[in-house]
Amino acid sequence: MTEIRAEMNSTAELEPEVYGVVSICFLVALFEGLDIQSMGVAAPRLAPAFHLDPGQMGLVMSASTVGLMIGAALGGWISDQIGRKAVIVASMAALGVFSLGTAFAPDFYALVAVRILAGLGLGGAFPNLIALVSEVTPREYRVRALGAMYCGLPLGGACAGALMASVSSMDWRPVFYAGGIGPLVLVPLLKACLPKRRTVRGTLSGGRIPGDTEGSGETLFGSRTGTTLLLWTSYFFTLLAVYLLLNWLPSLLVAKGYTRAQGATCSIVLNVGAVVGSIVLGALSDSRKPKWILICTYAGMMASLLALTVAQGIALYVAAFIAGYFVIGGQLALYAIAPSLYPAAIRGTGIGAAVAAGRLGSIAGPLLAGTLLVHGFGADAVPMAAMPGLIIAFCAVFTLAAARAKY
């Protein structure tokens, strides 16, 4: 079975469709990245407009993450039933509608509601982008294709920051106008261009291979319990470090005496590093032994977090770039290994559940940082708090990679 797939994956006629799918999925990821960071960049203007206290602002910022977790788990499972394309299209339509709804929310309660619903759309799309790109791409190019798609996330985040920085007024809505109109404009393109059938053996985009009983009747547990738990562990602790960095870097820099402008610049540099890391690490993973890439990636994550605690002046921006390169770009290792761990019939379910587990880590990271600061720990303690989790995540993902000969 594996040999047949590898042979089919290597056919030259697949290339035009692969480029098309990866490009479209990149655009989807771009708007997802913009929405993920939209509330963070809008918060300084939004909170005064709604007269929100810090607790209410925290609820608003957490609302989309809650929706994202639910959307990731359900979106992956539904796509195994009806197909990747249908779920991606529906998710982007929902993201567009409720991002625009955010801009027109009349009060705090409406704001929380629309952010939860936007999160459902956001969460439903991403696991299916991973699954679809993995399924249409030849195995020898799979990780770099995922890297090209994934770099849309940090690039979208950088666009959110740049958009708000370019608006001279105190209006917080422009980022949500862009985050709503863009996905809705993209929906017709998704309907027209995303494949209804996978290129590999001409199978359905929902992931069910006719006549292939591999994974038939399987679940995420049973014989796969160890695989599933290791994957969830790696996603949880890696995303904990990622979102600790994304949410707290500007505030931590201000606490260390830097200006808000310098903190915002570091955030942009962080996202640029993530884009470069996604592309470079993807290419290296395809061309060299991926287990060594994993070792270097997680070592780079820990070294870059340490560098952020000691760097000064221009070295701070270098450290931010390296942190983006490894900490955010290094997520690619997780997204690359996940599709190979489950058969086609439950691939969307497996990836979606792992992404949902990662989102729990994305909630835990900022909470951990806040707890440390409340209890009197200095700003430098926050990046260091992610170190034990990254060690656990590395051990889990390395075990998975070592156990999968086809990865």
Secondary structure (DSSP) of 104-140: T--SHHHHHHHHHHHHHHHHHHHHHHHHHHHHHS-GG
236 and 379 assigned to the same domain: yes
161 and 233 assigned to the same domain: no
- Hey, what are 239's tokens? 């995303």
Region 51-80 average pLDDT = 86
Reported in sequence order, the residue ranges of 198-248 that DSSP labels E, i.e. its strands, are none
Distances (CA, A) of 201 to 5, 129, 132, 172, 197: 8, 19, 14, 48, 9
If pLDDT is split at 50, 70 and 90, which confidence band does 312 have? Answer: confident
68 and 199 assigned to the same domain: yes
Highest mean pLDDT among 83-97, 278-292, 374-388 belongs to 83-97
342 and 266 assigned to the same domain: yes
pLDDT, position 31: 94
Region 274-302 average pLDDT = 83
The percent of residues in the chain predicted with pLDDT above 70, rounded, is 88
121 and 238 assigned to the same domain: no
Cα–Cα distance for residue pair 146/270, rounded to 1 Å: 20
pLDDT, position 139: 81
pLDDT, position 8: 38
Phi then psi for residue 213, to 5 deg, are -95, 0
Sign of CA dihedral 285, 289, 291, 297: negative
Residue that terminates a domain, selected from 183, 206, 229:
206
Residue 348: pLDDT above 50?
yes
195 and 295 assigned to the same domain: no
Cα–Cα distance for residue pair 373/128, rounded to 1 Å: 37
Residue type, 224: R
CA neighbor of 99 nearest in space, from 180, 8, 215, 197 = 180
Phi then psi for residue 405, to 5 deg, are -65, -30
Domain that holds residue 168: 1-206
Region 154-158 average pLDDT = 87
pLDDT, position 365: 80
Distances (CA, A) of 265 to 40, 145, 248, 258, 304: 14, 29, 14, 11, 17
- 227-252, pLDDT tens digit by residue? 999 999 999 999 888 877 776 776 67
347 and 381 assigned to the same domain: yes
Element (H, E) at 158: helix 152-166
Cα–Cα distance for residue pair 256/263, rounded to 1 Å: 10
More confident residue, 61 or 150: 150
56 and 163 assigned to the same domain: yes
Residue 212: pLDDT above 70?
no
Place of tokens 């470090």: 241
Give the least confident one: 42-46, 295-299, 368-372: 368-372
Region 26-46 average pLDDT = 88
Q: Mean pLDDT in the chain?
A: 82
Phi then psi for residue 170, to 5 deg, are -90, 10
Domain count, the chain: 2
What single DSSP character describes residue 13? G
191 and 228 assigned to the same domain: no
Residue 214: pLDDT above 80?
no
Residue 383: pLDDT above 50?
yes
Residue that terminates a domain, selected from 176, 206, 236:
206
Chain centroid to CA 369: 20
How many CA atoms are closer than 13 Å to the CA of 262, on its beta-carbon side? 15
154 and 255 assigned to the same domain: no
CA neighbor of 356 nearest in space, from 161, 127, 73 = 73
278 and 398 assigned to the same domain: yes
Give the least confident one: 160-174, 202-216, 316-330, 348-362: 202-216
Residue 200: pLDDT above 60?
no
CATH of the domain at 301: 1.20.1250.20
Region 356-382 average pLDDT = 80
Residue that terminates a domain, selected from 206, 238, 272:
206
pLDDT, position 93: 96
259 and 320 assigned to the same domain: yes
CA neighbor of 79 nearest in space, from 314, 346, 330, 265 = 346
